[in-house]
Amino acid sequence: MELYLNSTVIDNESTVFFNYTVTHNGVSMSGSYDEVMFNSTGGMGVMPPMPTPAPYYLISGNTITPTGSCSTTPRS
């Protein structure tokens, strides 16, 4: 099993998709198991409005938070 993410901007909101690929006997199946959309302030209050910049995230399965989930760190 491979786990990975894709990030993009949808409707001017920073969005990340959590995806998987499972391969068995040479047959691969892929899909998304979660989507998170963040409120983005991009260029609010600026005229003309600026688009939300493309998001970059670092997901690490090596660090567990106090609540037991993996950490997600926005990257700049």
What pLDDT is attached to residue 29? 95
* Annotated domain spans of the chain: 2-38+51-75
Q: What is the pTM of this model?
A: 0.61
1-42 per-position pLDDT tens digit: 888 888 888 888 888 898 999 999 999 999 998 998 887 765
Is the dihedral angle over the CA atoms 71, 5, 15, 75 positive or is it negative? positive
Contact 19, 31 (CB under 8 A): yes
Q: Which residues pair with 16 in a beta bridge?
A: 7, 36
